[in-house]
Structure 1
Amino acid sequence: MNRAVRYAAVGVIAVALLAGGSAAAFAAPADLHSPTPLVATAPAEAQLTAKASATTVQAWQEFRISGAAKGIKAGTKVTVQQKQGSKWVALPAQAPVNATGTYAVRVKLGLKGVNQLRVGSGATVSPVVQVTVR
């Protein structure tokens, strides 16, 4: 083998070693430049569930609304909302989502009759829960 060819081969191997390690030095050229497949994954859609500990309570009697938060980070606060007329109004009842993805909120209601409640975090809301206040 001629000296110039040997120097060229050593140079190519040295550059390949510096650029990508020993595997790149001995890989076929097609393996060096093959594109890495990219897989796009959509973020999980956030969901909330809600269940009241009682369906009928006395005025200002404490009860809990608990549930699971899927796709919502631990520590994020969820807020109880009450339907008043045609609007949903946030109540001063909040709780953080814990590390296992669940939450529990203490609630007291004074509006007598059937109250429609839900739990929300940002644009994500739970299904409606009904609690009757006597």
Structure 2
Amino acid sequence: MIVTKRHSLRIAAVGALAAATVALAGTAAMADTAAPAPSAPVAQTVAAKAAITAKPSVNSVKAWQLFRVTGTTTGLKAGAKVTLQQKQGSKWVTLPASSPITHSGSYSLGVKLGIKGKNQLRIVSGSTASPVFNVTVR
């Protein structure tokens, strides 16, 4: 059998790859068996439950008079939008008033209401909602 130089290089390369594979497999097996199980419970960080507060700048306004709703959030990302909702009958209707959450977790949005009487309002972001607050439009 004649062995050429090219053939011998192939055999050497395959041998080197096989040796490296065996070495890596042995190292992985040693790492699995060498790590002891922790004896004390590991503390896990618990994400803060999402919450929104809301406070209107006034309790009573004239129809279409501008007022502000301000508040803070916890557990929500900065840049996420908070939106105003109004209770109309038995449904919550989203109004065209929204604002991004700042990096400190606060927000402020301008609101104009036209439905006269006591308006039930809340601020929402995703599935998180603030407690209901009232503003009377006269």
Partner-residue secondary structure (3-state), 1:44: coil
TM-score, with structure 2 as normaliser: 0.71
Q: Corresponding residue for 1:117?
A: 121
* CA deviation after TM superposition for structure 1 residue 34, in Å: 1.8
Runs of 4+ in 1 over 4 A off after TM superposition: none
* CA deviation after TM superposition for structure 1 residue 38, in Å: 4.0
TM-score, with structure 1 as normaliser: 0.73
Unaligned runs of 5+ in 2: 1-26, 28-33
RMSD of equivalent CA atoms: 1.9
Take 2:51 and 2:72, find their aligned partners in 1: how far apart are those partners? 8
Take 2:63 and 2:37, find their aligned partners in 1: how far apart are those partners? 66
Q: Corresponding residue for 1:79?
A: 83
Q: Corresponding residue for 1:46?
A: 50
Partner-residue secondary structure (3-state), 2:97: strand
Equivalent of 1:126 in 105, 123, 130:
130
Residue 60 (1) aligns with residue 64 (2): yes
Take 1:99 and 1:35, find their aligned partners in 2: how far apart are those partners? 39
Take 1:33 and 1:112, find their aligned partners in 2: how far apart are those partners? 69
Identity of aligned residues (%): 55
Q: Corresponding residue for 1:29?
A: none
Paired residues in the alignment total: 106
Question: Mapping of 1:90-109 within 5 angstroms?
Answer: 90-109=94-113
Unaligned runs of 5+ in 1: 1-18, 20-31
Residue 35 (1) aligns with residue 67 (2): no
Q: Corresponding residue for 2:23?
A: none
Residue 88 (1) aligns with residue 92 (2): yes
